[in-house]
Structure 1
Amino acid sequence: MALLDKVPGELNLYIGGLFTVRRRATLQEANITHILSVLRAPLEKELFDGFQHMNVEVDDMEDENLLEHFPATNKFIHDGLESGGGVLVHCAMGKSRSATCAIAYLMHRYHISPSEALEQIRQSRPLCEPNEGFMKQLEMYHEMQTPDDVESTPTYQKWLYQREVELSRACGQAPEAEKIRFEDEHGQTSQDDGFELRCRKCRRALAHSKYLISHQARQAPFNQWAPVSDLSATTSSCSHYILDPLSWMRPELEQGKLDGRLECPNPKCKANVGKYAWQGMPCSCGEWIVPGISLAKGRIDEAKPTSAKSAAAGMGIRMPPGAKATGQGNL
């Protein structure tokens, strides 16, 4: 295995380990002008004299967030290539972190999948193998269509929320109130399709089916990111609807308790409609759901979505003549 391996193709893009940086003659021979370091370790500044240098300080751990750095590393690599020079991406061994950043760039430039980019890199450097956490981040980056702004995308924000829940769970605590993501507060979309979940006692609309989390019985692989549009994937044996946190749950979920019950937000009703457990809960189908936020099917009815005006009328709210109801206040 060479100290410096060129990614096959037209680009002057190279991958190597930390020792590669000390081979100045090798770098000059390859016309390297830019060096991207992807590791958390003391680096001797004189090693990078004469080079454009960028350092992303991350460990080769599955729970490291390398995804947030992709836009910056992509730009650095692109600027180096466009300047007419060569770019070296290195980590400690030239195996996981450096490969991940190189893959992200190839995905962004050529609109290819993580597996396709990895296969291309392995043609010259077979040892390249991003750790499992980085591969999942690359797959998410692909699903997001490799945006220049990762942090504002709903997929990334929800992923951060899931990481926060997992961290809190490991510490035996509920997530901090400001870290809880209430899905109905993140963008407004049409609710013409699907169905509503209504309190069986007072008929108050509690959720739309788009906020349900599809899951399968334990014997089948569980994918919490499965599209909710295919609700047939959720086994009919479940006695609860599993869903994302919604804004009407805020007074209860922000109390900092690990678990508790959910009451209908209609002040004249207050029926017990479900429960939650940040550490997770077993569904009746056998799957373990984290976090466990659920509505009991025995206390909920499915109904065709109604307009905001009709919903308001159903809740005893008189709309002014000619007024148009807006928003999703019934969720």
Structure 2
Amino acid sequence: MYIRTNIESNGRVLVHCEAGISRSVFVVAAYLMQKLQCSPIKAVEYIQRIRPIAHPNDGFMRQLQIFESCHFNADMQVISQCSLYINWLLDISSNIASSARYAVDKNSPDLVNFSNIEYRCRKCRKILFNDRHIMRHKVLIPGKATGDRIMEAEDCSFGYFISPMKWMALNEHRGKIFCSCNEKLGHYDWGGRVCEGMNGRPCGRAG
């Protein structure tokens, strides 16, 4: 492993991602698990002593559990035989199929009639989605009981994460979202994107 090789050579390694909360923590946690022969929870708790906002999302935590069940072996021949890995693949396939099934066209009667709250393009005023399609997400705040080791959550009101819609052109891994009138609406990233949060506080596990 690159991290282990450099550290054993008295080098330093910077591991980072867009927000430094989930993806980079996942990589460091895997390294610590292999080095210390510990569980995902123990590895993340160790990281949180240095970086309290470290908070891998559920998908990354599940992958770390798979890594642990494979005795910290990342060889695909070993992983492919792991029952946790097989179940994870089945769940991913199910989620992708579900997203495609529930992606609703903007002209669908269901979209217009489901809710009184409609979200329109500010330029052309077309209905884009309603509150059924919003994926609520959280902003992390320090826990009251034991300080920064425990996090409580409240709804974030900075922006909106919505489920994929048929009117969106999502052909690349990441990019911008435009209305049919060419008005820019936001961004998408199939690898996950972290909301900027409110008042300097980072969000939690948001797509």
TM-score band by shorter chain is 0.3 to 0.5
Structure of greater relative contact order (alpha carbons < 8 Å, 6+ residues apart) = 2
Greater Rg by CA: 1
Normalized against structure 1, the TM-score is what?
0.28
TM-score in terms of structure 2 length:
0.43
